[in-house]
Amino acid sequence: MSARDEILSAVRVALRDADRSELDVPRDYRSAHASGDIVALFEERVVDYRASFARCTPDDLVSTIRAALGSASKILVPQGFPVELDGVPDADDLDSYDAVVTTAALGIATTGTIVLDHGPGQGRRALSLVPDVHVCVLWENQIVGGVAQAVARLDPARPQTWISGPSATSDIELNRVEGVHGPRKLHVIVVNEG
């Protein structure tokens, strides 16, 4: 018998005498919403991870991005990013780039998380990983209250990267230290509606 058939048959034997009727899964947690100003909550939670945060109008988006980039000179700006910036869309030697600027699929207020699904304006996954600085731009209406609302909006077929603050580790005496392998600096910018 193949390993596959043997494992499947072992599963069936193991469950021979079990009551296999479906259990009810309580789903009321899905109606629990963060109340009040979710953009303010998002800001508070992003800052709590020691990421930097800025809000701007569509008109000062470019200058806000430039301020976040600081002295970074070699910049990646993926295809489909909505405003004109001085950068290249992709490269082979990602490690030689200082910063990357992307959009995101959505933001989660209660956890201060940004989710990239690597669509237009976000680039392939390695782009927002290898450079040391990541500037991520979201629009206010992309921010949802909680994890349940985020999962409901996301498309499982797309690769996703959920990012909550800069790369960090708690492996040394369980103290959180920022900056291991991912970007050590994360700037989140939220653009106000009109």
Partner 1 sequence: MSATFVGMPAFPVAAREALADSQLRRNLEHATHTIRAKRAAVVGEVDEWEELRLAGAAIKDNTLLHLDEYLLQLEESLQARGVTVHWARDAREACDVVARIAQTHGVDEIVKVKSMVTQEIGLNEALAAQGIVAWETDLAELIVQLGDDLPSHILVPAIHRNRAEIREIFRRRMAAAGRPAPENLSDEPAELAAAARLHLREKFLRAKMAVSGANFAVAESGTLVVVESEGNGRMCLTLPEVLVSVVGIEKVVPTFADLDVFLQLLPRSSTGERMNPYTSTWTGIAPGDGPQEMHVVLLDNGRTRALADDVGRQALRCIRCSACLNVCPVYERTGGHAYGSVYPGPIGAILNPLLKGVGVDEQTDSLPYASSLCGACFDACPVRIDIPEVLVHLRTKVVDAHREGPPKAEAVAMKSASWVLSDARRLGFAERGLGVASKVLDRVGRRVLPGGRRALGRLPWPGSLWTNARDVPAPPAESFRAWWRKGGRP
Any contact of residue 192 with partner 1 (CB under 8 A)? no
Any contact of residue 14 with partner 1 (CB under 8 A)? yes
**Site for partner 1, residues 91 to 150, rule: CB under 8 A:** 95, 108, 110-113, 118, 124-126, 129, 146-148, 150
Least Cβ distance, residue 175 to partner 1 (angstroms): 5
User: Which of residues 64 and 103 has its CB atom nearest to partner 1 in the complex?
Assistant: 103
**Site for partner 1, residues 62 to 91, rule: CB under 8 A:** none
**Site for partner 1, residues 32 to 61, rule: CB under 8 A:** 32, 45, 48-49
Contacts 24+ apart (CB under 8 A), 39-43: 39/109, 39/140, 39/143, 39/190, 41/109, 41/110, 42/107, 42/108, 42/109, 42/112, 42/143, 42/190, 43/190
By CB under 8 A, name the one of 54, 180, 191, 194 that touches partner 1. Answer: 180
Tokens of 33: 């919403």
DSSP at 24: P
User: Which of residues 64 and 113 has its CB atom nearest to partner 1 in the complex?
Assistant: 113
User: Which of residues 25 and 194 has its CB atom nearest to partner 1 in the complex?
Assistant: 25
H/E run at residue 64? helix 61-69
By CB under 8 A, name the one of 105, 143, 166, 191 that touches partner 1. Answer: 166
Least Cβ distance, residue 85 to partner 1 (angstroms): 22
Tokens of 99: 């910063």
Sign of CA dihedral 136, 111, 163, 133: positive
How far is the C-alpha of 168 from the C-alpha of 176, rounded, in Å? 6
User: Which of residues 17 and 86 has its CB atom nearest to partner 1 in the complex?
Assistant: 17
Looking at 35-43, 69-77, 97-105, 159-167, which segment touches partner 1 (CB under 8 A)? 159-167
The single residue listed with the structure tokens 């990646």 is: 76
